[in-house]
Each structure stands twice: as structure tokens, then as C-alpha cells.
Chain A
Amino acid sequence: MTLLRTPPATVALKQVPDALRRLWRQCTEGTPDGNVTRALTVNLVAVTDAAGEQELLRTLEQARRRMPCRLFLVRIGTDGDPRMATVSAEARGFNRAIVLEQIELCAGDSDFRSLASAVRPLLVDDIQTHLYWSCAFPQQTSGFDQLAQLSDHVVVDSAHFERPEVDLRQLDARRRRGMRITDLNWLRLRPWRRALAEAFELFPWTGRNRGAVSIRHGAGIGGQAGALLLAHWLEDRLGATVALDQSGLAKIPYALEFHQDDVDLRAEVKDAHIEVQVSTDASCYLPFSVPASRGRQGDLLAAAIDLA
């Protein structure tokens, strides 16, 4: 498949629309009819700090294959010039459909009012805008909220949260106010939730199993925030109190143990699958497995945007 990436051009913020038009012309040079096809399906505002930049770039590289977009790559906490932007484009296929328009921007630590005002007029009309906040949830939340207000949907990853209990509460408060938020960590837990759900298919759950639940949770399953999300989910679904123990499985990061009344369950990742063993007083069931993960961080991000 033909792939063309234009060299980056750094321009003043006000010059970005003209710079984009120049990129379109570059992308169509040499094509039979010179027509421009743009296949953009979303605006994506991706925010990173210096520590997370490389990971974000990898994530976006994976996600973009499923998601042609106008990408605003925002580096926060840097001393770059916030009045300048670096633009580039990527075209794909024989007809060179433009699948990426990338605008790189810099911002300070916490106040993004000028950044938000710069981004707003550059958003492509009539398609959804997603904010991907790829770093830790900020202690000063005003900047986050300013960018979130630009967006139809916000994506975070609570695996990166430094104070999971506090930060998850902050997210919940925003959800209650109507902000549409997807946590990649919740999607990451999906195979584990599925494994538990498949296990509950094996024995009839009549409501008798309403005793306390205890979970031993490997740290690799979404970190501390992942454990909290799983515990809250089980509390909600089973109507039971859940005691969380992260100490016992420190050496096996990708394992989970569940105990409630006579139900014992152990799940562990082996060979890209979650192998699950379930027993009750009455039966010891054949082990089963579910795929451990649908993909990489970029696939999770693309899935989050699809789901929105």
C-alpha cells in the first residue's frame, strides 16, 4: 500500500490552515487527477508529558491504522513556544487519501485556556472530538477540564494514576456531571471480567452466593486502579462486600483469585490466554480459557473511540 508522509513544517498558530492546504497539495502531487480525498473520521487531542511521550507516540501509531484523524499532539510541561505548531500529514493508498493531519502543540503545566482557544478553530467540523489524556490525572484539574470542554468524549488510563482512589472519585464526579469518559484500564480488564462471567456460567447462581467475596489480585492487572475497578464492579453485580488483597500475588502479576462461599476460582495468564479453574463443593469443572487481551494500548484507544 502506498504511504506518503510529508516532512513536518513549523508555523505560527494562525498559519496552520494554510500550512494544511500546502500539505494536501504535497500529498496529491503525481496522482492521476490531483483530487484530494480526506478520510478523517475524528478529531483527536492527545495530551502527554515528557515522560510519557514515547509511549503515546507508539500508541497513536497503532491506533491511527484504524482511525484516520486530525491529531492534535499536545506536550504539556515543556518550554516549547506555545504560539507555534508543527504540522504534517500522511496519505495512504493508490489515490492517496489523507488519513492523518497532525498538529503538534506545546503548553505549560496547568492552565490550557490559550491552548484550548488555539485548538477550537482548528477542529474539523461535524466529526467527534476525543481527548486522550495519556498521563497521570492532574492534581490541578482546571487544564484537564478546559480541554475536556472542547471534546465530546474523554479517554483516560487509570493505570497511570498516581492516587487511584482519589482520582477515580474525581472521574466519577465528572461522569455524574455528564462528561463522557472511557477508562482504558476498564477496557484492559475486559478479558478478566469476561473470564469471571464465563466462570459464573458454569454453576447456577441463585443468589445464595451472597457471602463476602475475597479477591487476590496480581499487580499486572491494571495496577492498583485496576484492582479497585474490579472490586467495585463485583460489589455492584454480586451485591456483596469485596475484600481486596494485593499482597499475596506479588510474584505472579497476571493472576487473580476469587473466593465466595463454596466457589473458588483461580485465573492466570498463560500463553496469551487467561486459564480459569473453578470449583465448588459439588463440582470441579474442566479448566477453560479466554483470550487475555484484544490488543495493544493503541488498539484499546481505538476501541474506546469506537465505543464512544
Chain B
Amino acid sequence: MSDATLTPMPTNPLASELEGGRRTQPCSLVIFGASGDLTKRKLVPALMGLAKDGLLPNAFSVVGFARRPWGDDEFRAELRDGVAQFGRSETVASFDRRADAFSYHQANFADPAGYLSLRQKLDELDRVRGTRGNRIFYLATPPSAYSDILQQLAATGLSREQRGRFSRVIVEKPFGHDLDTAVALNEQVRAGFSERQVFRIDHYLGKETVQNILALRFANGIFEPLWNEKYVDHVQITVAESIGVGSRGGYFEESGILRDMIQNHLLQVLTLVAMEPPATLTADAVRDEKVKVLKSIRTFEPGEVPGATLRARYTAGLCAGEEVKGYLQEEGVPADSRTETFAAVKLQVHNWRWAGTPFFLRAGKRLPRRVTEVAIHFKKPPHALFDNGRDPNPNILLLRIQPDEGVSLRFGSKVPGPDLRIRDVRMDFRYGTAFGGETSDAYERLLLDAMAGDGTLFARRDEVEEAWRIVDSIHRGWHTGSTPLFEHAAGTWGPEEADFMLGSGRTWRKP
């Protein structure tokens, strides 16, 4: 799956032993915002998961770049604590073995001197740890810091690739706040890095079950012939969270669920479900097909938005038996807020395969349970033969992304007995049962791919901008038109009105 990288490997007659095709190279990883939660909870535990599995190169170092006045020892203690709390089993031992590969660099993100001393530090690490001048810069900061960091990386030449050494940047979402800011961010990135050097993380794409959408579709012969408007009535994609916004009220108020979830996770999943088979599994071949799907979704005119979307927010209610606050009572949320915590969107992919088959996307907070799934609803048989002519239920192919990862197929079966009565039964495949073992975290896969230079599971610039084009048009419609903001009690599957947008005979699943 890897695209060619700049770096020619030295001739090594035993190289095929180095983890096959996903070959990582010696490198230093610089984490900007290393004193934050993401580093402690996700990044370093993921790195130690890779180390435990023997997938991290030996010549590897991590430099934490942040403003907090820490030394190496405090930094390492914090990271060790994070690995113990959030890492896979036995990863603390991996950290202890590699603790001296982690160092801390205190500087302000806008301070040029901090980058010059960083460069010296990285050169020194190349010498003593054999990291060969290869660098990966991870922006784990609030987006407001991206501009300074990208500017300084370009100004100090740290973004430049030369003499076979690679320099890559990993950018965390959100990739902008709307299309204009996304384009501006991408331009800033482009000032120092070519697109091939950029890895935009949407952690959903690192999940095994999201990747399994491609495997299910293109490694099996039986699904693809049915995977089109002739046989599929509609598709429902749901990302539901049972938690509220908690202490993120201030941030969420700026984004809302549309920008926070639908612009990235749901549209990424939609592209995998709707894309044409790529010619190969190289990064650009896959991403080209995904972009074509987004380009096939038209920009909404403001007048179309009320009929094709629904927005709502949760009010106080019961979640898992506990009384919970409404959105307006959450910390940091103003009393006159008009931000949505639930959104449902009907998208049409205007191409030969999907013409007339709607994709319904739904995301929400404070729904009854945390679940992410894709449900392919097939068309009903043309003639109702059984149960006195009663309409049979449609077949549903369900791809469960989390939790209880797996695939199930609902179909009708004859109830034993003298009558010809039909009952729905379910054929079930569960990842945990069939494959067992400990599944690695999405960040492990994505960090490994970034080290191997494989961008397949990262969002490309045009994907991000196309997704913003669609989402912006919905947002514009909401704020210029007459789309109401509904309310639903916490712990329910959204407002009743959400069913109306599906059309007759269809209802939202309640997973």
C-alpha cells in the first residue's frame, strides 16, 4: 500500500525480515503540544504498543515540544503514567526500555530560537541514536498554534527533504473550521511541505472495522454486484455517543456536531462505502476514488437544506438510568446557544452507481448508547409472496464499527411448522469471537503508516476541502434559512421529526 518514498534504503541483504512491506525507517518524532492530553492518552501509549509488537525502529527518538517548564525526567514520568493508564498490556515495560529515547524541549511555538535549538537537538539525536536525519512533526496542539509551527518549520528548513532524508508533518483534526479556513491552513502547510509529506489524521480511518469496509467490498465477490442503486434502497451511517459535551462546551459551541463529526468521520466512512473499486491499493488510487464520491455530492442551495437535514440539541433526561443535564446547562454553553448536538443529513451521490439511493448520516451526543455503524438497507422483493401478502422486511447488511465490531446480515427465514410464515434471523460475524486477541489502537496503525510513508489512511487536501464544501453549504442553509433547531431528551434517539426526512416506509435504526 505504500507509495514510493524519497529515501533509498541502504543495501541490506536481510531487509525482508524488517516487517515486510510496512517498513518503518529510523526517525525522530517531534510532538508539538507534548504536554497535552493527546500525547499522554493516545500517542505515546500507541508508540509503546508498536514497540511491544517490535514494529518501532530501534533508531527512534521522541522530542516533546511544548511551553510548560518541564525537564526530561518530568516529561518521561508523565508519559510513563499515561502508558500505564491508557496503554495496552505490558507496554509499560516497553516504555521503561526506551525511556531514554524521549526528551523534552521547552519553547514557545512562535519563537524562532526554539526551532533553531530543536534543529540542533535533532542533529545530535541523528548522531547518537542513528535517526538518519528523518523527522516527523506531529501537531498535537490546538489549531490556533498550527500557523506559527508550520511557519517556523518552513523558515528553519526543518520541513525540507534533502539527501534522501524525509520530513513529514502529521496534522490532527479539525482541518479548519470551514472551507475558507481549511484552504488557508492547507496553504500554510504547502508553504513548507508538499502534499506527499502531509498526513492529516482522522483516527476513524485507523480503525480495523473501517478498513474492513474495503475488505468486505473488494475481497468478496458476492457483495459488489448488489452494491448499487438497483438493489440498495438506502444507507444509514450512524455515529452515536452516549456522553455529553462535558467540559468541552466552549469548543463544541464553536463547532457543533456537523463540523465536529459529520465533516470528517461520517463523510470519510461514506466515501469508503460509496467509492468505486480502486485500481490498486496505493494511497493515491484509494484517495482518488474517495474524492470522486465527495465531488458527486452537490453543494446544497439554502432552500434545499431544511428538507434534507435536521438539527437538534439534547435537553435534560435519563442516560443509562442517570439524570443528565441538557446541553444549555453544560459548562461553557451560553443560554442563547443555537448549536446542534444532533444532526441528520440526507446526501445523494450523483453518479451512475448511486443515483436515487440516499445516504442518511446521523450523529449525536447523549444518545442511548455509543455506537458507530453502517447499515445497508436493501430493496424489498418485488412481490410479497408470504404472510398473506404482507410486505417483508428488507435485508440489512450491518457493518458495526464500534463497539462489538463485526458484520451481520438480516434475512427472512421460514418459521418451522405447517404455515409459510417468515421471521427475520441474523447471520453474525464478530471480530472479537472470530479473531480473538487484543486489537491495536487506531493511532498505532496511523503512526506506523506515517513512519512508513503510506498516506492511504490519511485525508488528502482535496478530500478535506470537498468535505468542507458540502458541510459549509448545510451550515449556510441552517443559518440563513428556516431550519428549526429541535430538541430531544437526553438518552433518546433524537427528535421524532428525524424519521420524516427518510421518506415513507423508512425509519432510523435504533441500534
B433–chain A nearest beta-carbon distance, Å: 4
- Binary contact track A255-288/B, C-beta < 8 Å → 1, others 0: 0000000000000000111000000000001101
Query: Contacts A66-B436, A290-B54 known; A198 to B18 CB distance under 8 Å?
Result: yes
B15 lies within 8 A of chain A by Cβ: yes
- Tell me how many residues of B have a C-beta within 8 Å of chain A: 31
Q: From residue B425, how far is it (CB to closest CB) to chain A in Å?
A: 7
Q: Which of chain A's residues have a CB closer than 8 A to the CB of B393? A: none
| Interface positions of B from 1 to 23, Cβ below 8 Å from A | 10-18
Cross-chain contact B17 with A205 (CB below 8 angstroms): no
**Is B425 a contact partner of A35 (Cβ separation < 8 A)?**
yes
Q: Once the chains are docked, how many angstroms separate the CA of A204 from the CA of B12?
A: 7
Contact B433 A193 (CB under 8 A): no
Q: Are B433 and A97 in contact (CB under 8 A)?
A: yes
Q: Mark B70-102, 1 if CB is under 8 A from A, else 0.
A: 000000000000000000000001000100000
Residues of B within 8 A of A288 (CB): 58-59
CB of B233 to closest CB in A, whole Å: 26
Closest to A190 in B: B17
Q: Known contacts A204-B10, A286-B129, A286-B130: does B436 contact A65 (CB below 8 Å)?
A: yes
A194 to B436, CA, bound (A): 26
Query: Is A176 an interface residue when CB atoms closer than 8 A count as contact?
Result: no
> How distant is the Cα of A239 from the Cα of B429 in the complex, in angstroms?
48
Note all chain A residues with C-beta closer than 8 A to B58.
198, 288-290
Contacts of A65 in B (CB 8 A): 436-437
**Closest-CB distance, A277 to chain B (whole angstroms):** 12
The interface residues of chain B lying within 8 Å CB-to-CB of A196 are 14, 17
Complex interface bits, B427-457 against A, C-beta within 8 A gives 1, otherwise 0: 0111011111100000000000000000000
Tell me, yes or no, whether B128 is within 8 Å of chain A by CB: yes
Residues 26 to 76 of chain A near chain B (Cβ within 8 Å): 35, 37, 39, 41, 65-68
A39:B10 contact, CB within 8 angstroms: no
Pairwise interchain contact A99-B129, C-beta atoms closer than 8 A: no
- Min CB distance, B219 to chain A, in Å? 15
Q: For A291, list chain B residues within 8 Å (CB).
A: 52-54
A201: Cβ under 8 A from any B Cβ: yes
In the complex, which residues 371-400 of chain B have their Cβ closer than 8 Å to any Cβ of chain A?
none
Let me know if B436 and A193 touch, CB within 8 A: no
Q: Does A206 contact B (CB under 8 A)?
A: yes
Q: A65-B437, A237-B14 are in contact. Are A194 and B54 (CB under 8 A)?
A: yes
A273 CB contacts on chain B under 8 angstroms = 97
Smallest distance from the beta carbon of A166 to chain B beta carbons, Å?
27
Taken together as a complex, chains A and B put the C-alpha atoms of A68 and B15 apart, in Å, by 34
Q: Determine if A201 and B97 form an interchain contact, defined as CB atoms under 8 angstroms apart.
A: no
8 Å CB interface, A193-216 against B? 193-194, 196-198, 200-202, 204-207
Contact status B12-A205, CB under 8 Å: yes
Chain A positions within 8 Å of B17 at CB level = 190, 193-194, 196-197
Distance from B461 Cβ to chain A, minimum over Cβ atoms (Å): 33
Q: Is the C-beta of A113 less than 8 angstroms from some C-beta in chain B?
A: no
Question: Is there a chain B Cβ closer than 8 Å to A175's Cβ?
Answer: no
In angstroms, Cα B366 to Cα A71, docked, is 45
- Complex CA gap A9/B16 in Å reads 48
Q: Is the CB of B14 within 8 A of A68?
A: no
Q: Which residue in chain B gives the minimum CB-CB distance to A35?
A: B425
Known contacts A39-B433, A66-B436, A286-B128; is-contact A197 B97 (Cβ 8 Å)? no
A37-B428, A198-B18 known; A294 and B53 CB under 8 Å? yes
Among A99, A190, A198, find the residue whose CB has the most chain B CB atoms closer than 10 A.
A198
Convert B242-277 into 0s and 1s, putting 1 for each residue whose CB lies closer than 8 angstroms to a CB of A.
000000000000000000000000000000000000
Chain B residue nearest to A271 in the complex (CB) = B97
Q: How far is the CB of B237 from chain A (nearest CB, A)?
A: 25
A228 at the interface (CB under 8 A from B): no
| With A193-B17, A194-B18, A194-B54: A201-B436 Cβ-Cβ less than 8 Å | no
Asked whether any CB of chain B lies closer than 8 Å to the CB of A92, the reply is yes
B13 touching A237 by the CB < 8 A rule?
Answer: yes
Q: Tell whether A238 is near chain B: CB-to-CB under 8 Å.
A: yes
A67–B12 contact, CB under 8 A? no
Closest to B58 in A: A288
A64 to B100, CA, bound (A): 38
The CA-CA distance from A196 to B59 in the complex, in Å, is: 15
- Say yes or no: is A191 at the interface (Cβ < 8 Å to chain B): yes
Give min CB distance, A305 to chain B, whole Å.
Answer: 11
Instruction: Return B436 CB to nearest CB of chain A, in Å.
Output: 4
Binding site for A on B (CB under 8 A): 10-18, 26, 52-54, 58-59, 93, 97, 128-130, 425-426, 428-430, 432-437
The 27 sampled A-B contact pairs (Cβ below 8 Å) are A35-B426, A39-B434, A41-B435, A68-B434, A92-B433, A93-B432, A93-B433, A97-B430, A194-B17, A197-B12, A197-B18, A198-B18, A198-B58, A200-B12, A200-B13, A201-B10, A201-B12, A201-B26, A204-B10, A237-B13, A237-B14, A238-B13, A239-B13, A288-B59, A290-B54, A291-B54, A294-B53
Q: Which residues of A contact B (CB under 8 A)?
A: 35, 37, 39, 41, 65-68, 92-93, 95, 97, 99, 190-191, 193-194, 196-198, 200-202, 204-207, 237-239, 271-273, 285-286, 288-291, 294
Instruction: Knowing that A68-B436, A194-B17 touch, tell me 9 more A-B residue pairs with CB under 8 angstroms.
Output: A39-B430, A41-B434, A41-B435, A66-B437, A194-B54, A197-B14, A200-B14, A272-B93, A288-B58
Chain A to chain B: the 5 pairs with minimum beta-carbon distance, closest first: A197-B14, A197-B17, A288-B58, A66-B436, A39-B433
